[in-house]
Every structure is written in C-alpha cells, then in structure tokens.
Structure 1
Amino acid sequence: MYRTIRTVAYEPDPAHGAWQEPLRVLRLGDGLHAELLRRRPPAHGEDRPARLPVRHLNSLLRATAPGVLATGREAGVDGRLPWLYARQVVPPEVLAPVLGTWAAGLTGPDGEDDGTLEEELLADPAAAAVSLPPWEREHVDLTETVISAGGTAEPRQRLYNLLPEAVAFRLAESPYRTGGTSLRFRVVSSGKGVELVSWPPQQYERRGRTWYYSARLTVTVQTVPFAPRFRVYVATGVRRWATHLEAAPRALNGATVLLDAPLPWPENQDRGHRIAENALGFDRRAERLVWRRRSPALLLPELDIIRRYPEPGELFESPEKWLTGHRGLAAGIVYHPVLGPHEVGPGLMPRERSELDAWVEAGLRPMLRRAGDLTRVTRHNTPSLLPRSVKRTEPDTREAQKAMLRRTALARALHGRPLDIEIVWQTPRTRDALLSALPGVIGLPPGGGTATDDGHRWEADGVLIRVRTRPAGELVDALPVSANRNRRRALRLAEAVAGRCALVTGQVGARPTGVGVVIAEIAGKDRYAAAPDTDPKHALRIAWARQGRLVQFINLPEDGQAGQAGLEHRAKWTWLDAFRQLGAISPPAHRVGAGIPGDLQYVGLWTVRHTRKGPTKCPARRIVAVRMRPGRESGAAEGWDTERAEWVPYPQLLLALADPSREADPRHKEERESGERGAEQRWQAEAERQIRAVLFQLRERPTLLLVSSGNLRQCWPRLRNGALSRDTLGFGTGPDQRAAVYGADLRVVLVRDANGRGEVADWYAHDSLTKVGFAEGVWASEAPDNRVFASTARRPHTAAGSPKDLIKLVPTAKSRTAPGKTAWNPALLEMTVLGCLSEQALARSGRADAVPDRPAEWATLTHQLRYHDDYPPLALPLPLHLARLAGEYVLPLATDEGTAS
C-alpha cells in the first residue's frame, strides 16, 4: 500500500527569493486606444463599445511577433494598462504591420473606413514609430504574492497570464530525453491557457496506417485555500492528430488547428518556440470550411506574401501532408472523436508522468520547487456498502444483499405507489436485455414476472412494478429543425421540440397512475454531429416530463458493443440510473468514527447555468439543493423546491425543474437574455438569497453541506479561494459571519475538481524513486491546522487493462503497441473543510466545553460519500452527484421572437 502521493505542482522557492525578469512593457496609450475605439462599430444595444476586440490581435501577435511573452488583461478596456510583455523590444517594422493589418478590419460607426490609421501604421518605420507608443522597461517579479485576510497566497493578477508563458518558454528551451530519444516542445498560447506540445509529432503504425500523436503539457497558475504559496500546475497528456478523417466537412464545428510557420521577420529569436493555434469550422451560409474569428491564419497571408498558407478545405482534404510539412509549413488538425476513430489511446500512465514531472522540476529550478508530497490520513478508504455479516468471499451472497438493499430503497422512494415503466425500444435485443436484467437488479427470481394484457408485472415487499414495451418508431427520429435563418436558432429549436412533444402526447396517452418512468433506446449524440440541434434526447426529456414521466436513455449498440455480455452490462446500469432518478438511493454507512453525529444529514448545492450554447440554445440558471437523510427516516433523496419553499421527493424536483412555467427567477430572465448591465449582480443576489433560505431550513439538526466551489462561485463569489476564512461564510459585500450563525452543528466542505481549467493537479503515488502507481484514499500535508485534503479513488475495472509502467511517448521494442493503450487515471478531488466545530469556532460560540472536530474526519466522510452500490467511485460525493445530474432536467425553451442569431 502506497503511503504517499505526489502532485505535479510547483511553488515559489523561498530559498531563492523573487524570480525577477527584465521585461519590456507596451501600453496602447489613451490616444491610440481612443482612435481604435472610435473605429469600432457600437455593440448591439449600446451607443459606444466598451472595449476593443483585442483577443484576435493578441493571438496574431503571439503567433508572429518575436519576443512577445504574454498579453495583459483588460487592455481593450483601458489603454493605460499593460498590453504586451516582451523579452526585448519588438521593432516597429514588425509591430506596425501586425497592428495595421488588424486595424484594417475595424470600421467606424458610420460603416466607412477612411484607411488613415492603416496607412500611417503601414508606412515606413519612422512614421510607424510616431504612431506606436514607446516601450517601457520593467523588472517583473514572477513570484509576487499577496496573502489574503484568510491566509491564502494569491499571485498578482497579471501572473495568471504571464507566469505560465514564462514557465512554458523556459521548459521549451531544453529537450526531454527518454528512451534514447529527445522530444522538443513548442509553446501553444491561447485565451484558454498555455500548452507545450512535442513537435514534430510521434508516429505509430497500426492497421496498415500511420497515426500521429504528441506529448502535451498544460501549464496553469492556481491557488490552494489557506496555503502560504500559490502553485504552478503542469498537467500531462497526449495530443492526437487527425489524419484519417471519416467525417464530412460540415461535422466540423470549431476544430483546433496548430500552425507551424516560420516567422516572417529577420533575426527572430523565437524561431522554433511557438506554434499558433487556429480554429476552423463549416460555414453553412458559404457551404465550405473557413477559418474562425481570431485565427491568426486569417491574417498571416497578408503579413507574409512569400509563403502560400493552406486553405481550410485543402487542409481537410490532405491532413497528413500538411502535418508532416509542406512548402516550409506544417499544420495539424487536433483530433476529436467526431472525426472518426484513432488508434492512439488518450492519456499517460504514472511511470511516464513521473518522468515528465522530474524533467519539469529540473527545468524550473531554482525559482520554483516541488510542492510537498501528501501522506495518507486514514486506512478507512471505503464505507460499508453491505452488512458486516456478508463476507467478501461470498459473491452470490453479496449480490443478493445488494439487490435487497436496492429493493428496500425503491420501496422507500415509491411510498406505496406503483412504478409504471414504459420501454421504448429500437432493437428487440435491447428490449429483451432490459426485461431480463430488471429482476436481478432488485433481487427477484429471474424471468418476466407475471404476464399481463399489455406487459409484465413484478410485486414483492410492497413494491409493484408494471412494465409495458413498444417500438420507438418516429418518436426517436432526428428533430426536424427549420433551416430558416431569419429566425433565432433557439426559436427554431423550440418549435421542433414542441412538435416532438405533440407527437409524444398523441402516442403516450393518460398520465401514469403511479410513478412514471420511460426507458428509451436512442442513437448516441455522435450520430447527430453533422446536423446540430437534431439530437432528440432533450426534446424527449421535455416531452415525457410534461406527461409526468422521468426518462432514462440507453444508446443503440455501437460497433464493437454487439456482445451479449456488454448489452447485459448496459441494461443493468440503465436500471440503476433509472432508480437514481427515482431517488431510490441512500448514502453508504460510513466508517469514520464516533466523531460524526448519528443524526447527520447531507446536503449538496449545485448551480445549473446554461448559456445560448446550452442544450436548448436558451439561457437559464437554477440553484439545485439535494438532501439525504440516512438511517431510520425515509432514506430517499429529496430536493429543495424553490417556488414552494419546501423539500420534495427527488423525482418531483426533476419534474419541477423541467416545467417551463417555473422559472426560478422570472424577474431577471429578460435581463439575462438581453445582456442588460447589472443582471449578473442581481442574479448573484437572488442566488445567495436562495442559498441562505436553504441553510435556514437545515438548522434543526447536524448538517454536512457539500459545495463544489468551482461550480457555485459563479453565483457565490465569496467562495473564491482568496475570500475564504476558516469557519466563516460570506455573502454579498457584508462581513464574514460565523458558520454557526447558519446552524450550530453545520459543517461545510468545499470540493474542487479540474473544472475544465486545471484547478487541481495531476498526481501519482510513490514510495521510492523506482516505484510509482495508483493509490486510493484520503491525503493531506503535514501542516498544522490543515484544512485541505485530497481524495483519490481506485480505477474502475473497465480501466484496469493498462499497466502503470506503460511507456507511450517513446515505446520500446517490447511495447510497440503501447501508444494504442488508453491510460485512464483517477482524478484527484480537492476537499477543503471550510467550516467545522474547531476549538476556535466552539470558543466563539460559547461551547468551549464541547469536543472539537477533527477536520480529517470530515474530509474522510466526504471521500467515502463517493462510493455507492455497484457504481465505480463517483467523481463527486453522492449528494452533489445527484444535484449535478438534476441539471439534466433544466431545459428552458425560447418563447418570444427576435432577430436571427
């Protein structure tokens, strides 16, 4: 058993002191900023635009201007703020053409373009120098830190952009040597962050073809609650390149393309370091592939008239030719599953991650040092999922006990009502597999139960299940969305949904007399990639919810899934997910100890936030709260009904979320859709009001409040790491309050995952310099009064095929097929015990005689809530898992006319 895990994280080394870099800084200046702003057409609904669209310009500069290290934030709003950071002055003859080419795309409010600015910028260097502001010299501390009132170290704001670039360029200067081979990395900068990609790509021969891939490192700057130093995380993985495209051009919707082009300037010191990120997509008006906005490839041909750059259609037709280099250029389409299969598997295993980690550590010395290892907190890694009388060596008995527990949970959730299930099938084998799996899942004798006139019937221990089956027919066809682009996309989609609802209403009949569930067999979402908005899943969920029925989907068998064992497995999981929607699920019996109150309730908070890119192309925001009370009470999950201000059964919450007439905050719906200023602040105030209302309802008994800080800080800004203080909660602009104000026995644990922004570090277990692998458990530093813990789970059996020592980047002669393996690694979940009954909290509450909490126990309890029944360990604790999945029923529809989107 491993006793230690290591995160791929680095922090400023106090022994080295400040990391000072002599940089050149350029500001747009008030004059040039005002002139560019004047030429920008006003935004919709405003008299004058609030900012310059400098993101396109920034991406062009990073791609073409030698010496540019990073671009500053908010330069498009205020010309006095730093705009460019560079290692040396970018000559006017370089910067002026880039700025002039970009400015040529701006037009004045009257739609006319007098060309004066472009002519001046594109003139001789002396004239350009007059127009461009001067460069300033500045020594920048790349480790400059501010300590928050709560004790969290935060970098200066500009370091979130600047430091990852500096780290990436420093690492790119030296090759990564492994297996007798050297890999060199190129820097990829975008608005989403900074990556290092090994270049040129590696090759893997498989099935008579060559497949291409690269090592990928992602560099981000992060903070950790209450930590005395901020962190630099370097996540490792594989970047796969698409060279065998099996999709039509119209299936591409924002595909990423990395372009390797020699910079068109002499004496370029950055040659070989950067590679430019672009995006291409299918233009449905022009019926062809085009470069998307902010792609440097749009403007590079105007700056470099010598080379011929690839057109998007040409790149799509010959991706391998351009990836390996053509006419002195190279371009690679980043792989996405919609483009077809790829024989290189994603991910890296612990051995290779540890070797890359050692290379990164050496490259960042002495300015940064490795963050300290984490040690095991407890041996109680998992809860008690079965009664202690059941032995692990008796698999038949274990399965029978699990089935019995499911049946008991189902009985509690149904409250004596019958369960009416309708199976809407496309393939008879799927229908039969579902019918066959149901008895075993709830511990009934195998077989079809009692035959009835219209289906099957099972009854045992107060549970009555009635099942009907029928062919899906046109119900699961692709949605017929109108092609009339004179109407908003959301309205066209809403019309198609309304049509499918009418079809369902005409075929389904009366509302169920009991609890209604539909299990529908539909095609996977990849089948609809070429025709956006035609996937019927969301329309069917809305349609059946309006009929008072929950719905669980099972996908049509894909190629390679035709085996009976695979179908039986999917059928079983379909039933388990259906029971989850019914709330027939209970928290596991923890194995933490006597420090956890016996009457503890669990509450998970989640915010659902849909933009115009959401499932129905209609904005929506909801606060979802789920409560679970283990023990002798109902045991079934409940949800907070905002409109009724009460706790309701979980399935009732799902149906309420799907009801379009129950907009959570109707006063602000129109404001959010129109983008009115102040709407965000009003939504935050409304969300915080709802959260406080939920907390008020929990005061009567001990409560563990589980919050995803990465999710909820959008509407609860005081969850930002720098705003946290131990054992307090803050709302709005008011002072922090003791957590006990919201409940004398309230505990609050914040959990955080990568959240799409690399907010937690990669990791691997190790006990020596030669032994690395995976480990399951709860981990923490040895710092006194530690409140931050890490949860790692075991790998599921479906991901157990790849050995931990697998080497994919430079496979050996004995492991030629290693690149084809999928390397699945359990993600780390950060847990911060924000509020507990610590000695200080008890003293402030006048309860100094009470036994204080041990934060490690509450972190262990949160970790154990990731385990339930046959599920692989959940990504989130069970109450949060249910709150997040409830968001599947938040499906607003557009109802008013507007201009085309």
Structure 2
Amino acid sequence: MHKKEFIQPVACTIEAKSFLRNLSLVKMSFPEEWLDLLSMLQAEKTDRLNKPNTIPIRSLNAALATFLPYLIGAPNAIRKKIEFAIDEDIDSRQREQPSWLLAYKELDVEKLWFLTRAWLNETYRGCESLETVDGLLRLQDLQWQSTTIPLVKGVCDNGTADVSPLAYKVLPAYIADMLVNSCVCIPVGLEEKRLLRIPVETGAQLMTWPPAYFIDKKHRKHGYSYTIDITLQTTPGIPEPRVLFHYGVRRWHCESCLEDGKLYLKHQTSVYLHQSKALLDMAQTKTFTVATIEAIRVEGNTPRIPAWTNHLPQIAKRFGVIIPNAQELTQHPMKWLAGHEGIEIGIVCRNTRYHPIGTGIGPDVQEIITQQIMGILAPQISLLKPFKSFPIPRKIEAHPMMGDLRDIAIHDRLAALEKSVGPKVVIEVRWQKEIVRDMLVDRIIALLTGPRPPLIETSEQSNHADLMQLEDGAIHEDDLTNSEWSYEEDTNQENKSKRKPARKRAKDPLPQQALEQKSLPLPDGGELVIVTIPLDSIGSPLPAPDKKNKQTIHTHTNDRAAKIFRELEPASYPTLVLVELPNYKHPDLRRQFGQRDPKNALRLGMARTGRLTQFITSDASDLDKLRSRSESAVKDGLRQLGYIPFPINFSIPNVAIPDPLLVLGIWFIRITKRRSAVGVHLPVIVLMHTMQHKIFVWLPHDGQIRPYHQALLEITQLNPEQVKKRKRQDALNQVRQFLLNESARQGVENVVAFAVAQNARSTWPGLYNTEAAFDALRFEKGERLFSAKSLPINFRLIRLRTNQRNETPEWYIPGAKPTTTTQGLWVEGDANKQANRLFYSIASKPHTAAKFMVGKQLKPGENYRIPSIVEIIPLILHENDDAATWAIAVDQWRKMGYLTSDMTLFPLPLEFAKKMDEYAAVIGPWIFPEEWKGDEDENEDENEDETRVISE
C-alpha cells in the first residue's frame, strides 16, 4: 500500500474541436415489411402459430459481422418504428426510424442481399412458406441513408450531458478503428501484438492478436490475449461525456476439449473468428465476429457433443469459406487458433480457475497500454486530470469492527450475539469428515471466545525465504518461460533484504476432537449451542434426471427439500447449519455429477425448517487452507444470523454525522442467472441503526420489517409465480411508499439511504444519469420532482456506481510497480470542494493478495485484482450538510468488514442487502427455468466454495 497524493484515471474527454463530435456515416434500417414475413416463418418453424415469436436476428447479425468488414460495431437488434408516438413515456429512439446497420460508407447491397438470403434459407430450411417468403423479400428494400451522429445534443435539467443514443455505440467503435488502423502495437509478455476490433452491442472492444503463449513445465502451450473495452459514459451533473478504457485478459483453449470420448467444455462457449486473408472479393478484415458453441445432448443421458448455435458454418460454405464443424474445432483448437484455410478461430477458455494464465493485469501494464493508445488518440481526446486525494480527518480511535473480530473483547463478542441475534442461538455442524467437523467447531469457538494469535519475530533465514517466494511458490526457470528475467533485475531486491525482519502471527493449535454438543453461556443469561451431526444421505448428489419419468433437477431438488423437511424437527431458535459438501465445481466432480449438486435442495429444505445454511467444501488436504476456509464459512454464517459486534456509529473530528441515524441499504434482488437480464423486480431494504445491534429487513410481499436472519428464510418461501409476475411499477411504488412514509415511522429523525445505480435503475428509472435529481426525489422517468424538504425526517439519498459494465474508470499511479495500490477518497483535480458532490472511493488491497510480484509481462500466471473505483454521489442532502461528510461515511462503513478482514464493496447495510441474492437464487430455477439449464456461468472472481467473503 502506498500513500499517494493523486491517481490517474483511465478516462478521457473529447477535445472541443475534434471531428469525433460530429460523425458522418451511413445507416440502414431493417425493412419493416420483412418483419411480419419472418415472424410468420418463425411461427411455422417453432409451431407457435398465433403466438409471440422472436426472430433469431443474432445469427444473421453474426454472419453479416463476419463478412462485412466495414460495419461499425455489431448490427443492432431490430424493432418496429412506432408511428405517431406522442406518449411521453415512449423513448425518443422508438420514434425514429431505428437503425440496423451502421457503416463508414455504403457497402455493396448485393453482397448484403445474398448474405441475408443465405441466412434465410439455412435458418428456415424445410418450412413450407420459405419459398413464398423468399420471393417477397426484395433487393430494393435495402437502402442506405446518410446520417450525422452528434456526440452531445445538449445538457439535461440536472446538468448532465444529453448524449445522442447512437453515440454510445458509434464513438467507441470509431476510436477503436482509429487504433486498429494506426497499427499500434501493445506489449503482451515480451512480444508486441497488434489490435483487432470485436463488434459488441454497446461500446467497442479491442483484442491483441495473434495470441501470446505461455509454456508450462510440461511444455504445453497456453494462449492468451489482452482486451481493451471502450465505452462512452455520462455522470450526473457533468455536461461532457467521457470515454473510458478497461483492460482484461482472455484465455484460449489450445488442447483438445474431448478426452476419452467426453466433452470438457462449458454449456455455452464463445468462439472468436477472424479472416486472416481477403475473402468474398473484400479486403482482409480487421475485426472479429463472435459465435457460440453449445454442449448439447442429442437424447437422454448420452454424452454431450459440441454444436454451433447458429448457421454460420453453413452460410460461410455457400461463399467458399471453410468454417470447421464444432467437433473438428473442439478436437483441434490449436490448429484453428494458429490459422487454417484463411480463418483464425479461438475458443474462449471459461474455466479460468484451473487455467495457468492469471486474471487481470497489473497497474504497471495498465499504464503502458494507456500511454500507447493515448499516443495515437491524443490529438482528438485527452486524459482527465489526475484525481486528488481527499484528506479524511484522523479518528481518535478506530471503530472496533474495522479490525479483526478476535481483537474485540470476548465479553463484547458474546454479548453482541445475544443482542443482535437472540438469547439462544444454535449452530449445527453437519459433517462428512471428522477433521472438517473439528475445524469448524474450533473456528466457532475461536472467533467468539478466543484471542488472536500473538505476533512473533521471524528469523532472518525464513524472512529471506519469504522474500524469494511469490504467492504460489518459489520461482523456477520453468515458471519464466520465454523471459530473460533474473533476480538481479529487481532493483528493489537489495532494499528488501535490508528491511526489518517481518513479524508474523503464531499459528493456531490443531483443533481438538469436537463434542456432539457444546454449550457456551452468553453474558446476559443466554446460550450458544453447538451441535455436530453427520450429514448422511441428505448430502448425497441428487439423482440423475430421467426425462422418461419427467424427473428433472427441479423435481429432485423439491424431493430432497421435502425429505429434509420431514426428517428434521423445526428450529425453535435462530439456527445456522454449517454444511460440508464435496466441491462439485471441481472439474472431476462436475464431469461426474453435472448439475446434481444438492446445495440448493439443502438450502431450500433447511429453510423450510427454519435453518440458515452455509456451505464449505470437504477438501482437507491442507490444514492451513482448511482453517482459513472454515473461518470464512463461520464468519459468513454469523453474517446470515444478523450478527454485528457493535453498532455502526463512528466519530471523527469535524465530520458531522448525525447520531442516532437510520441507515438504509436498498437492493433489487437479481434472481435471473444472466446479469444482463432483469425480469424480476424484487426490492429489499436493510435497516441498521447507529445506536443498536439489530439488523432488520423490509420485504415487499407483505410490507413488514423483520430480523435479517428471518428475512433470508422467508425469501426462499416466496411464491415463484408472485415473484415472476411482480410488475416494475408495483415494486417501485412499494419502495416509494417506504421511503416517503414508513421510514419516517421508525422513530429516528435522520435517515440516509444507499442505492447502486446499476442494480436499481431498471426498476427505479429516476436514478438514471440524466434523470437523477439533486435534493429532490424522482422515481419515474420525467415525473415531477418531490422535494425532500417535504418529508417529516431529515432524509439523504446516496447513489453509488461500480465498474459493472465499465461505468467507472480504471486507474493507476504513474510509475507504478506491479503491486502498487492505494486506498482512500478521491476528487477530480479541479473540483470545487464546497460545491462538489462527486467522490471516488478505492478500497484497500485485499489481505490475500500477493505482496511481491514480478509483473504480468514476465509471469503471466500472476493474478491481479486491483480494487476498483466506487463512484459516490450524494443526490439528496439535508440543509447545511457537507457532501464530503457522506463520502467519508461510505469509506468508514466500507472499512467495517469485521467478517472479512478486508473492506467491503459497499457500505455495510448495502453489502448485507446485496448478499440476500444468495437465498433468492434458490427459487430462481423455478421462475426462469430456461435460464438455469446447463452449467453455471464461471465467474473469474468466484472462489471454489461458499466461504466467499463480502469483500471487494
């Protein structure tokens, strides 16, 4: 951790005289007369006559993006123009003739025509109406039109830039093409790689190509590329939009995805295709197209086979372009990755947890890439000025929850369990291995009654050994394949050896054999009961689906949950169950059992008996790792119980935080599996009082407030049909009712509410950048403002925004080393401290992050998780409030990560609200079954079990 006075955001503004402010292009609308014809064909193909149908336009767009190299971004979705629209609720974009294709110049309409007809004939082959429809589609229906895309149309009422809707797609793509055409090269490892563009629906993406390769100790090649995402973003109150750049890593399959006749591939996997030579009498493309391979079963429980999800190979074959079938591609991925028959194809490796190429890139590489691209773009765009550090007054005494839980006095820890959860609490340990049972019980007792191990001095010899190791072990020559790095090249090595020997904490003793039942008295007469119970058959994998008898994962989940409900007595007190399960996400077990992980069934069944559940995997080969995972599991279980050691009030000189204060975390639960999907509008509000230990939750189905642990249980009992049919307006009206009325009835004069832009705005349009009002509440788009002064309480609303969908900028410290990071609050360099309401928060470096790294360029296996920027905007303030006060409050409540030893992503009440998604996911498959078919999506930042902490 370095204390720096400024950081450099990777965000840019467009120069006032830049040609990028007005781009002259051509566009083409999808012929409206084609829509009804294609809908008729689709209804015939799917046997859905007189029912709504969705035309598979994505497959057509993929083919066009493959063979039309001059399109700007991926083709847009198609929709009908709304005639004579005067309703204010109708988006202005729907009143315009919607664009389908955008290009720099008019492309050959005949080639477009032939591609479209090829897609038509492949997609609807066998339909009786195909010949009729084909005859009704006319070449002259495809017409290019000139258009000018302005960057900014004006300034909204709240001072935010009013950006032309198409600019969000066009400008990033234009900038991406400027970089591609300049032939700028990006260093990847020890090689220079060119950039190619990937058409995406929003913004633009660049990727280094051809892949760089890392050779492991077994002499296997592992390909990877760097990615650069470019987006156009706005910020409330700022009249100019900004261009943001985000960097990442993409890994490629290089070895066969089939072994012993089994397909080792995710259910749906992205495939990137690039023409390495001119095809169809057109110039060599500088773009990729993205297709998808799906792992399917032809029938029953037969082995899965790979298949393209659209007709791209067949369409390409009509034009003499050879795209391999999915079986060939997955058997020989390296052959096509290197290029064959004029096509380069890469299969994305989504199982990143077991890939030798690490996640993320370090701040040193971010700076290098930024300098490279700004050298090309500088005449047209310029980096924002560095953000300055905002000084936070030093506290007289740190809040107890900002440190380790075991630093809190034993009496206070036990008393807090009684105050925040109840006079009697039960923790059941349902185990499969004795060592896991013993370790879990040991960690429960240690966290609630044990002291923190003392610091001890390490010997010079062990200290030297520590310095010569990285996170994953000593550096060997094989680890540095393709590099000339040596120890002498690290100029800081000599200084490191002179440092004072580091102190470490003594190890905890080995756990003792756990008793079947142990009771811990609580200070005010209460009791904590710890019970150990073998898991037995309720923890076995679910039966395999049997379609003949209509037995699916869903029915087996319900059966297992019903079995648990029958066999277990209902819990009479707040009860947490720590459940030991195998790691079903491990490739070996995933291949053996697929989706038969019983976790959802256990959580659902236990919830019906009034029990909370926290899972831990049974890998006990490394006792230190088992101790760490067990401790994390116990901590997250305490969080589910609503355990909080101290109230969240804090005191800082010259920072006027009202006390008492009611703090609200507003969260809209995401039950859908895909992050981009909405579909459900289920708000929850977590309430924390700065003078109380209790954590409460408001749920919308009955409008009642209940303890946190009870709210988790009730979420699993919600009627799926009621959840699915919940209308957006109804959900928003319930939130409106709570904020305007119920919050004033909680007996507290001062209230502050937190909401996250990306999470809330699909239900709460009033939080959109162009709609968010200052010092007034707006719920629906364009509605009349409601003055916060009219409320009977002193109400504040703080909107946060994260880097989800690349909406907040990357950052680095100029001259940064691979592990350089910083923490604190930041403001823009020229911001007026009195009037400014825009702040940025960066969390401290995770305690699990490696201390020393040589850099991604030299060791691709290194993992980087640089803390992202969280944007803070106090939208509503009470008179005489200082906006900086609430930015400081965000920083303080993020630091109260007593259950993680790290800062949380959001302020504590909002973090507790977000974690309720875990219990809502139990009913997800019943609400959107189609979305939950197939394997789970792999998340790069996801740990192997449910001991995930709530840190950033």
**Where on the TM-score scale, by shorter chain, does this alignment land: which range?**
0.7 to 0.9
Answer yes or no: is 1:378 the counterpart of 2:391. Answer: yes
Q: CA deviation digits over 1:101-135, x for unaligned, max 9?
A: 12225659x952342554687xxxxxx7x434332
**Secondary structure, aligned partner of 1:566:** helix
2:232 is aligned with 1:221: yes
Q: Check if 1:233 corresponds to 2:244.
A: yes
Identical-residue share of aligned pairs (%): 22
Match of 1:19 among 21, 42, 64: 21
Letter in structure 2 aligned against 1:327 = E
CA contact (8 A) 1:764 1:772 kept: no
Would the aligned equivalents of 1:628 and 1:636 in 2 still touch at CA under 8 Å? yes
Distance change in 2, residues 1:324/1:526 (3 Å): same
One-letter amino acid of the structure 2 residue matched with residue 500 of structure 1: R
Q: C-alpha separation between the residues in 2 aligned to 1:180 and 1:613? A: 37
Q: 1:517 touches 1:551 (CA, 8 Å); kept in 2?
A: yes
Aligned CA distance change for structure 1 residues 618 and 746 (closer, same or farther; 3 Å): closer
1:335-366 CA-to-partner distances (Å, cap 9, x unmatched) read 1227x721111111111101111222223232
Q: 1:606 — aligned with what? A: 667
Counterpart residue identity of residue 826, structure 2: W
Preserved CA contact (<8 Å) 2:169 2:202: no
Pairwise CA RMSD: 3.6
Deviations 1:864-901 (A, max 9, x none): 11122253111111101111112222233788999999
Residue among 832, 835, 840 paired with 1:790: 840
Pick one of 738, 747, 752 that aligns with 2:801: 752
Deviates more, 1:400-409 or 1:207-216: 400-409
**Residue 768 of structure 2 corresponds to which residue in structure 1?**
720
Q: Does 1:95 align with 2:122?
A: no
Q: Distance in 2 between matches of 1:66 and 1:273?
A: 7
1:500 aligns to what? 560
Q: Shift in Å at residue 406 of structure 1? A: 3.0
**1:572 counterpart = 2:631:** yes
Q: Secondary structure at the match of 2:72?
A: strand
Moved over 6 A (4+): 42-46, 445-453, 768-772, 893-901
Residue 142 of structure 2 is matched in structure 1 by 133
What is the CA–CA distance in structure 1 between the aligned matches of 2:102 and 2:770, rounded to whole Å?
26
Are residue 595 (structure 1) and residue 656 (structure 2) matched?
yes
Is the alpha carbon distance of 1:638 and 1:32 closer, same or farther for their aligned partners in structure 2, counting shifts above 3 Å? closer
Which residue among 314, 317, 320 is the counterpart of 2:328? 314
SS at match of 1:821: coil
Counterpart pick for 2:712 among 643, 654, 675: 654
Change in Cα spacing, 1:687 to 1:289, as seen in structure 2 (3 Å) is: farther
Counterpart of 1:885 in structure 2 is: 915
**What amino acid is aligned across from residue 110 of structure 2 in structure 1?**
E
Instruction: Confirm or deny that 1:175 pairs with 2:184.
Output: yes
* C-alpha distance in 2 between matches for 1:95 and 1:825: 44
1: CA distance between counterparts of 2:8 and 2:428? 49
Q: 2:434 aligns with which of 428, 443, 447?
A: 428
Q: 1:228 is paired with a residue of what secondary structure?
A: coil
Q: Confirm or deny: 8 A CA contact 1:612 1:619 kept in the other structure.
A: no
Instruction: Give the secondary-structure state (helix, strand or coil) at the position aligned to 1:82.
Output: coil
Task: For 1:383 and 1:602, locate their aligned partners in 2 and report how far apart those are by CA, in whole Å.
Answer: 23
Mapped to 1, the partners of 2:549 and 2:316 lie a distance apart of 33
Q: How far does residue 403 in structure 1 lie from its aligned partner after superposition?
A: 5.0
The alignment partner of 2:916 has SS state of helix
Q: State the 1:17 CA deviation.
A: 6.3
Aligned match of 1:166 in 174, 198, 208? 174
Evaluate the alpha carbon distance shift between residue 709 and residue 161 of structure 1 in structure 2; reply closer, same or farther with a 3 A threshold. Answer: same
Q: Is residue 484 from structure 1 mapped to residue 494 from structure 2 by the alignment?
A: no
Residue 300 of structure 1: how far off its partner (Å):
2.2
Query: What residue number does 1:779 align with?
Result: 826
Asked if the contact 2:198–2:287 (Cα under 8 Å) also holds between the matched residues in 1, the reply is yes
Asked whether the 8 Å contact 1:25–1:138 carries over to 2, the reply is yes
**Superposed displacement of residue 184, structure 1:** 0.3
Shift of 1:533: 3.9
**CA separation in 1, counterparts of 2:930 and 2:831?**
58
TM (normalized to structure 1)?
0.85
Maintained 8 Å contact 2:270/2:348: yes
Residue 643 and residue 288 in structure 1: after superposition, are their counterparts in 2 closer, same or farther (change >3 A)? closer
Q: Paired residue for 1:872, among 898, 902, 921? A: 902
1:266-321 Cα distance to aligned partner (Å, 9 max, x none): 5534x24111211111112365534444574453223x32x432211122212222
Residues 754-784 of structure 1: per-residue CA shift (max 9 Å, x gap): 23x1121111134x79999311001111323
Whole-Å Cα distance in 2 between the matches of residues 266 and 613 of structure 1?
36
Aligned to 1:112: 128
Q: Equivalents in 2 of 1:3, 1:649: separation in Å?
A: 43
CA gap 1:875/1:771 in 2 versus in 1, 3 angstroms: closer
2:687 aligned with 1:627: yes
Quote the residue 1:847 is aligned against. Answer: none
| Deviation string, structure 1 residues 183-240 (Cα, Å, up to 9, x no partner) | 1011112336532111110011212222111111112222212112112211011111
| C-alpha contact (below 8 Å) 1:54/1:76 kept by paired residues | no
Structure 1, unaligned runs of 5 or more: 122-127, 673-678, 812-817, 843-851
Q: 2:863 aligns with which of 788, 798, 822?
A: 822
- Write out aligned runs for 1:409-420 (5 A): 409-416=416-423, 418-420=424-426
Superposed displacement of residue 163, structure 1: 1.8
Aligned-pair distance for 1:152?
1.0
Q: Distance in 1 between matches of 2:928 and 2:801?
A: 40
Amino acid at match of 1:195: Q
For 1:826, the aligned partner's letter is P
Deviations 1:450-486 (A, max 9, x none): 9998422222423422122122222222222533289
Q: Which shows bigger deviation, 775-784 or 398-407?
A: 398-407
Letter in 1 for 2:616: I
Deviations 1:17-58 (A, max 9, x none): 653333222223444455445544289988475875433222
Which residue of structure 1 aligns with residue 30 of structure 2? 28
Deviation at 1:643, TM superposition (A): 5.0
Measure, in 1, the Cα distance between the counterparts of 2:927 and 2:400: 56
SS of the residue corresponding to residue 357 of structure 2 reads coil
Q: Which secondary structure state, in structure 2, belongs to the residue aligned with residue 436 of structure 1?
A: helix
Structure 1 residues 218 and 495, CA gap change in structure 2 (3 angstroms): same
- How far apart are the structure 2 equivalents of 1:180 and 1:484? 53
1:707–1:443 CA distance, 2 compared to 1 (3 A): same
Q: Contact 1:71–1:162 (CA<8 Å) still a contact in 2?
A: no
Equivalent position of 2:345 in the other structure: 331
> Against the structure 1 CA distance between its residues 451 and 411, is the aligned structure 2 distance closer, same or farther, given a 3 Å change threshold?
farther
- Residue 545 of structure 1 is matched in structure 2 by 607
Give the Å deviation of 1:385: 4.6
Task: Report the Cα distance in structure 2 between the residues aligned to 1:641 and 1:238, rounded to whole angstroms.
Answer: 40
2:604 is aligned with what amino acid?
Answer: I
Residues 776, 613 of structure 1: CA spacing in aligned structure 2 closer, same or farther, 3 A cutoff? closer
1:156 CA displacement: 0.7
Q: Deviations over 1:555-592 (max 9, x none)?
A: 222xxx72211111112122211111111124545354
Shift of 1:442: 1.1
Amino acid at match of 1:24: V
The answer for the alignment partner of 2:943 in structure 1 is: none
1:368-414 per-position Cα deviation (integer Å, ceiling 9, x unaligned) = 221232111123589955569x9x9xx9xx94426554323212123
Residue of structure 1 in register with 2:694 after alignment: 636
Q: Whole-Å Cα distance in 2 between the matches of residues 898 and 184 of structure 1?
A: 42
Name the CA distance, whole Å, in 2 between partners of 1:401 and 1:800: 27
TM-score, length basis structure 2: 0.80
Partner of 2:789: 740
CA distance, structure 1, for counterparts of residue 527 and residue 866 of structure 2 = 41
1:375 and 1:32, CA in 2 relative to 1: closer, same or farther beyond 3 A? same
Please name the residue that 2:459 is paired with: none
Q: Report if the CA contact (8 A) 2:197-2:287 is conserved.
A: yes
Aligned-pair distance for 1:736? 1.1
CA contact (8 A) 1:400 1:443 kept: no
Amino acid at match of 1:659: Q
Q: Which residue of 2 aligns with 1:257?
A: 271
Aligned residues of 2:670 and 2:678 also touching (Cα < 8 A): no
